[in-house]
Amino acid sequence: MVRTSLNTSLSKRRLRKSKGPSEDRLSDLPDELLCRILSELSTKDSVRTSLLSKRWRNIWLSVPVLDLDTRTFQDDDYLFLEFLDSFLESNKEQDIKEFKLIYDAGEHCDSDFVWRIDDVVKRRVCHLTVLNRINGDDALVRMPLSLYSCETLKTLTLYCVVLDNPKSELVSLPCVKSMHLEAVKFDGKKVLGTLISSCSVLEELIIVTHPGDYLEEVCVRSQSLKSFELESTPGDGYEEYERQLDPEVVIDAPRLEYMSISRYLSTSFKIDSIGSYAKVNIDVTFDVDYGDPEKIAMIYNFLIGISLVHEMIISAQTLEVIHVLSKLEPLPRFPNLSCLDASFIKSFWKLLPTFLGCCMNLQSFVL
């Protein structure tokens, strides 16, 4: 009798437990873990969790990731700034691991923008992306000087912003491994070179030039760089025959494993060193007088600079340069080249035996 009564009691307890309200185990997790979970969501979805319960109301303010697009605020600049300020002021001691901003404000105030980005940088930001969609020089979007000495920054992506010209001794980005700069305006000829050389562990670099960036020289000197992409954007309304010249280029990156140069037109392109057995994708033309011995020497030295690569993709425009050069002097040899993908056009077929004769170890050839 006692055993039967005990079994009945246990069965009732199990039944009550199975029929009771489901437990909210997620809300019982510590704030730190909840923030890590929310950091995997978009900021928009992260904010939405504040509606779940009182427990969730302010959790999103402690998430160390912020991904914003001003266009999602219904063109209300004040609403956007209010949102950003509430996040920045909620916990001034909190680090910001990742910050991404697509910026298209109706009215831009340079000083207000700079101090807000400065606040983000000083929060020990690790990954920073600022994409400016405002058109025109009347609304230049500048980066704060603190950006040049951010010791925690690991990746930097900037589009259509302005970088000032600080003293070189103030520039130090010891942790930056990846940098992507597109249509960035530099307030000084040496700003880009100084920025690159200050990144002692830089491995990936992408630069996209634009007619409005006023860049005079692309100087890439790095002992750590492994991947480099350089692309020219002629700009809207430019015909090929009237496009502006791209900046002069100097590359000294002995550990470079991959290099891509796209749609580039320059008067000077110097390669001091890249990695032996590298892979390159070359689409370069030169606006030079082929009767000038110095310019011919420059083009020849450019070919010498890529002569030790292992794989090469080469455009018809660059082959045209090689075709002209081959009529003036012998081409350099490419002893390590095993894979070649070349865009030959009909008028260059006479060059084919000469060029292939310089590639004595070629194993794969694609036309």
Q: Nearest Cα to 247, choosing from 211, 281, 203, 194?
A: 211
Q: Nearest Cα to 340, choosing from 269, 273, 268, 281?
A: 281
Q: Distance between CA 312 and CA 322 in Å, rounded? A: 14
Rama region for 110: left / alpha / beta (φ>0; ψ in -120 to 50; rest) = alpha
Q: Are 125 and 148 in contact (CB under 8 A)?
A: no
Residues sharing a CB contact under 8 Å with residue 79, sequence separation 6 or more, in sequence order = 73
* pLDDT tens for each residue of 153-193: 999 999 999 999 888 899 999 999 999 999 999 988 889 99
**Lowest-pLDDT range of 116-125, 132-141, 310-319, 356-365:** 132-141
* pLDDT tens for each residue of 99-128: 999 998 777 788 888 999 999 999 999 999
Question: Where does 252-336 have alpha helices with state H?
Answer: 293-305, 316-326
Looking up tokens 């310089």, which residue turns up? 358
Domain chopping of the chain, boundaries: 30-235+244-305
Question: CA-based Rg of the chain, rounded to a whole angstrom?
Answer: 28
Environment class of 201 (CB within 10 Å of its CB; exposed 0-12, middle 13-18, buried 19+): middle
Q: What is the mean pLDDT of residues 235-252?
A: 74
pLDDT bracket for residue 345 (50, 70, 90): confident
Q: Nearest Cα to 333, choosing from 298, 293, 300?
A: 300
Average pLDDT of the chain?
84
pLDDT bracket for residue 20 (50, 70, 90): very low
User: DSSP state, 142?
Assistant: B
Q: Which of 82-86, 188-192, 194-198 has the highest mean pLDDT?
A: 194-198
Q: Distance between CA 117 and CA 301 in Å, rounded? A: 43
Q: Which of 73-87, 121-135, 143-157, 337-351 has the highest mean pLDDT?
A: 143-157
